[in-house]
Structure 1
Amino acid sequence: MDRKTGIIMKITGGFYYVEAADSVYECKARGVFRKRGMTPLVGDVVDITVPDDGYCSIDHIHERRNSLVRPALANLDNLMIISSVKEPDVNLYLIDKMTAAAVNKEITPIVVFSKSDLAQTDDLVEIYRKVNIPAFSFSSIDNQGLDEIKAVLKDKVTAFCGNSGVGKSTLLNALFPELSLQTGEISDKLGRGRHTTRTVELFKKHGGYIADTPGFSTVDIERFELIRKDELKFAFPEFDEYFGTCQFNSCNHVCEKGCRVLEAVEEGIIPQSRHDSYVRMYNEVKDIKEWQINNK
């Protein structure tokens, strides 16, 4: 019997695949986790027992730096949000909800606009670079932007996510051809892609790890990582410099008189689309009770 420390790379069929000491072990989680209401996640650092025969067991989950529910991952450095500019069309609210979730968990959001051969992306990229969120364009036709995107992955744990059909697997295959991930075509009838990734999985690449995640529908975003109304403003880092400068200390930066954030929006310093997303997210959670957020 041996004990090792490793990282959960994949979860499927009730089995946990843990990389430890340059090997991957198929493990079962001890029942104590269920009793404590804990669920091991891909990305968790865990202690395992490797017996002479039988299944390995996960005995202990190390403290997490952060975790997300969608995608279900722990200990991320980056969340790379992929959005196509066409087929399907870009959804800035979806992007902003995901960037806010990342910032709220102290994860660096990165935005990639794919299929840039179908429409111009300069204005979209500028929205996010203007608020100091890394943003890039990518085209699978000529691999535009590939080197810039690959550079931000170095030595980091990065999850790739986005709604179905945006070209997430195509981008991953361009970055790391040896992955040979399955890609799906867009359905003309539904206007969205088929889900080609079924489970969250980590791959050891470029000095760190990259995570491929299942695509989700636009409907799923309504349930994505709700942030409490008092914390939401901190998930929009472009608001930071205006805190404490509004006319009223209780300012929610939605529509109040003397709000410096609103003035910055009017002056073009903060992009209008970003503030629109903030207001929509605020209105979603302003009347939600604490227990409702915890059970989302």
Structure 2
Amino acid sequence: MEGIILKGIGGFYYVDTAEGLIECKARGRFRKTVGKPIIGDRVMLEIQPEDGTGYLTDIHPRKNSLVRPAVANLDLLAVVASAAPPVTDPFLIDKVTAIAVHKGIGALVVINKTDEDPGDDLFRIYEKSGIETLRVSALTGEGIERLKDRIRGRVAAFAGNSGVGKSSVLNRLDSGFGAEVGAISDRIGRGRHTTRHVELHPVEGGGYIADTPGFSSFETGQMDLVLAEDLQYAFPEFVPYLGQCRFTGCAHVKEKGCAVCAAVQAGEIAESRHESYVKLYEGVKDLKEWELLKGGTR
């Protein structure tokens, strides 16, 4: 029987199949191949007739995977942001979208709380970047149907800093999602609720949605990002300018004759996007390929 892992707790895996949700254990031999099963894995299993539980017998090849949070086979990684308090730092958006683009996962920026602030500046930045951007309001329902259409039939993970209304958006997408919605703390200016694990939830009309831990859990160093020379491709708006720099091997940070830096100065690339690139570049510039191979990301 075939299925998809929705949740893993204490060595047990809960697999969605044509026969319903099956509780399974994994065979130890997986540790010698793909490693430990993770959420989103497409698996084969055998059912035990005596109690209806199962054993995972095979894990299909993963088309992509993240290390932190551990999830596989995503079609879409949506970043929920807000221009209303607590305002999202663009670097946090850029960090996650860069991971998505590099991993071959569809990237989507969802600007929530448009009933308070339409987020015009954020919308312009990401529309220009080539990353799909939608505006929604979990309070009024604005844009929610369009977001539902975007995720229908797909495996989509949602990330977002605490307090931007990510859980409220997920509850709008599917009333059965059951995500706890936390109030904003007036004292610290951020949400009290933090999702601590990843779990896939089937949604009406087909597909799955996943709530993920906050931005701080997304690894941007050796595990879930890239070699420095590959980072440039994780920013789609850089691509038309690559190969046009004066010097081969340009880092696109502040070099003379850099076509990317010239595009930033000309307003073709948003300054905030380039600043995020530079910050990420500083974090990976000394990373060696053998370290990525050791971390299992290539």
1:78 has 2:100 as partner: no
1:47 has 2:44 as partner: yes
- What are the equivalent positions in structure 2 for 1:1-296 lying under 5 Å apart? 4-36=1-33, 38-54=35-51, 55-216=53-214, 218=216, 225-290=224-289, 294-295=294-295
What letter is aligned with 2:233? F
* Alpha-carbon contact 1:165-1:194 (below 8 Å) kept: yes
Post-superposition CA distance 1:62-95 (Å, at most 9, x none): 0000011233211111101111223322110010
Task: Measure how far apart 1:181 and its partner are.
Answer: 2.3
**For 1:130, what is the secondary structure of its paired residue?**
helix
Counterparts in 2 of 1:243 and 1:80: CA distance versus 1, 3 Å: same
Task: Measure how far apart 1:193 and its partner are.
Answer: 1.8
* Alpha-carbon contact 1:202-1:209 (below 8 Å) kept: no
* Alpha-carbon contact 1:94-1:221 (below 8 Å) kept: no
Post-superposition CA distance 1:110-155 (Å, at most 9, x none): 0012222333301111111112211122223322221222221122
What letter is aligned with 2:36? T
What letter is aligned with 2:262? E
* Alpha-carbon contact 1:195-1:214 (below 8 Å) kept: no
Task: Measure how far apart 1:244 and its partner are.
Answer: 1.5
Rounded to whole Å, the distance in 1 between the matches of 2:137 and 2:242 is 39
Task: Give me the identity figure in percent.
Answer: 45
* Alpha-carbon contact 2:88-2:161 (below 8 Å) kept: no
Post-superposition CA distance 1:193-243 (Å, at most 9, x none): 233534322222254423332432548666572321011011111111112
RMSD over equivalenced CA pairs, Å: 2.2
Rounded to whole Å, the distance in 1 between the matches of 2:228 and 2:111 is 29
TM-score normalised to structure 2 length: 0.90
**For 2:238, what is the secondary structure of its paired residue?**
helix
Rounded to whole Å, the distance in 2 between the matches of 1:217 and 1:7 is 25
* Alpha-carbon contact 2:174-2:204 (below 8 Å) kept: no
* Alpha-carbon contact 2:40-2:74 (below 8 Å) kept: yes
What letter is aligned with 1:128? Y
**For 2:57, what is the secondary structure of its paired residue?**
strand
* Alpha-carbon contact 1:71-1:161 (below 8 Å) kept: no
**For 1:87, what is the secondary structure of its paired residue?**
coil
**Structure 1 moving runs of 4+ over 6 Å:** none
Rounded to whole Å, the distance in 2 between the matches of 1:178 and 1:129 is 31
